[in-house]
Structure 1
Amino acid sequence: MKPTHAPRGPGGDAPSRRGRPPAPICATAKPAHRAWLEPVRTRLVTSGLTLDALVSLSGYSKTRLSELLRGKGYYPGWEITYSVIRALGLPVSPLLRLWAAAAAEADKDTDWIKSRIRDVQPLGREDQPVAHLALTQSMWKPYTAYARAFLQSERRARQVVSETFDILWLTWDVATATADTTRHSWLLLRGKVLACAPKRPDGRPDLRAAAFSTAVQADIPDLAERLHRIDVLARFFDTITRLPPDQMDVMVLRHLCGIPETAVPGIVGLAPAVTHTLDHHARGALNELCPDSDTQE
């Protein structure tokens, strides 16, 4: 595996300046494509490599590399993508998964994806950063529960969480340079989830569908009572999305996902006193916005 620090230039000297930013990503590039393309572009800029230097290291023409970096034209094959990320010293395993997901989003069939991967020599062993592995193992369940509350699909929730951790691995040097890696990771997860969540007309995430699964779990035998309960819960969950983001997160984790109060600070990357205050203020706001519901229940 190549080192994850900025690669050296063709002459072996460490780059002394940032490379020139590539032209903007094309508007036609889809979300899953952007998910891996943006970290690649960022690494190119911070590496100090010019496009000419990348041509020498990758073996591809400037025109083809420029198109790849802009997400222009046809979705790129794995061979050219692989050559670029290896030249930039990026980890291959997470980017391969992101590339394959984006290929499916671009309507490439399974045979096309497998064929392009086979065109590249099999990878050697690639070690995942120990701290990243530990974070993935400890946060997988609560992250998935949070994503499932908004997306109402186990498959979609797992997909978003997996993508989040792959992007985090790609940008691990950035994550570990922040004041709090756990907080950085949570904000990345929240952004990915809310970007995929159904939206209300005013742009807020739509949590109302969660009322159906919650009412079913309550096992209410009377149909009329169950429908009434769904209506109350739908209005209550809709009100939760009117809260400030951090208050919304705490309420969703505590009261939709059933996460213990003591575990919430370690998930969202905030101090226990802060999460307690957020929960207190959120309850007060919900009682004012939705007085006919019981926030404790």
Structure 2
Amino acid sequence: MHSMHSIRNTSAHRGVEATHPGTPLELAALRTATQDPYLRYARALLPEVQAHEALYEAFSTLRASFEAALASPDIRRYAWRTLRTAVTTRASRDTDGTLLLPPRPTAARHDQGSRTPSPQLLRLIGTLPEAQLDVFVLRHLCALTPEETGQVLGEPLSATRSAERHALRLLIESAFRTS
């Protein structure tokens, strides 16, 4: 795990504080609540340095557009879309546009140790529709609970559970088609 000192010393962050002076209190609170799951998500799709760069870009963009974020129907959803854009624009893609997730151990859950998904599973995950991919990555690669996932995405728990069910169904169907 990187400390804030090491994050600030990466080339993209040298000399830039995590929270700028004059940052609105609401944005500082949002950052505190979401920084860990956002970074976990970014790490699931990007190499380490790019994950930190995406997180930095997302919060810089949010700071610059904070009035629009506050005016949006759900600030968490607005913030998630900002983070997702920063991550997916950096993500590797196959020639067909499929996201290519880097092979790395998943975050450990309390009931299991960390595991590394197979390259075949990572490829299938990369084919999921956007909402299902986000829920699946947060739930199964980042080890968030359904409730935490809904909070991070700014979505109701029912929508999170539904997206997860659909993602699992699509992955199972795809696995049988490709084997």
Tell me if both proteins adopt one fold, taking TM over 0.5 as the criterion.
yes
Picking from 118, 124, 132, the partner of 1:239 is: 124
CA deviation vs aligned residue, 1:194-231 (integer Å, no higher than 9, x gap): 10011111122101x32x535x944xxxxxxxxxx86x
Counterpart of 1:150 in structure 2 is 45
Structure 1 distance, partners of 2:21, 2:149, is: 32
Deviations 1:34-61 (A, max 9, x none): xxxxxxxxxxxxxxxxxxxxxxxxxxxx
After superposition, the Cα gap between the structure-2 partners of 1:126 and 1:152, relative to the gap in structure 1 and judged at 3 Å, is: closer
Distance between the aligned counterparts of 1:217 and 1:171, measured in 2?
Answer: 37
Cα deviation code 1:63-117 (max 9, x no counterpart): xxxxxxxxxxxxxxxxxxxxxxxxxxxxxxxxxx9xx95xx9xxxxx9xxx9xxx
Aligned partner letter, 2:136 = M
Give the partner amino acid of 1:181. Answer: I
Q: Does residue 97 of structure 2 align to residue 203 of structure 1?
A: yes
Gaps of 5+ in 1: 1-96, 105-109, 115-124, 219-228, 293-297
Aligned to 1:187: 81
Cα distance in 2 between the residues matched to 1:126 and 1:280: 43
- Structure number with the bigger relative contact order (C-alpha 8 A, sep ≥ 6) is 2
User: Equivalents in 1 of 2:114, 2:72: separation in Å?
Assistant: 40
Aligned equivalents of 2:114, 2:62: Cα separation in 1:
34
Runs of at least 4 residues of structure 1 off by over 6 A? none
Instruction: State the alpha-carbon separation in 1 of the partners of residues 29 and 37 from structure 2.
Output: 14
Alignment correspondent of 2:54: 160
Q: Which residue of 2 aligns with 1:213?
A: 105
Query: What SS is found at the alignment partner of 2:89?
Result: helix
Query: Which amino acid in 2 is paired with 1:160?
Result: A
CA RMSD of aligned residues (A): 2.5
Larger radius of gyration: 1
**2:99 and 2:126 in contact (8 A); partners too:** yes
Distance 2:162 2:114 in 1: 29
Equivalent pairs, count: 158
1:289 is matched with which residue? 174
- In the TM superposition, 1:1-297 aligns within 5 A as 101=12, 126-153=21-48, 155-207=49-101, 209-210=102-103, 212-214=104-106, 217-218=114-115, 233-291=118-176
The answer as to whether partners of 2:50 and 2:90 remain within 8 angstroms in 1 is: no
Rounded to whole Å, the distance in 1 between the matches of 2:125 and 2:21 is 42
1: CA distance, partners of 2:155 / 2:145: 15
TM-score (norm 2): 0.80
TM-score by length of 1: 0.49
* Match in the other structure for 2:110: none
Q: State the 1:234 CA deviation.
A: 1.0
Superposed displacement of residue 177, structure 1: 1.0
Give identity over the alignment, percent. Answer: 30
Letter paired with 1:194: T
Q: Which residue of 2 aligns with 1:43?
A: none
Match of 1:222 in 2: none
Alpha-carbon distance between aligned partners in 2 of 1:173 and 1:241, rounded to the nearest angstrom: 33
Secondary structure at the counterpart of residue 174 of structure 1: helix
Aligned letter for 1:213? Answer: P
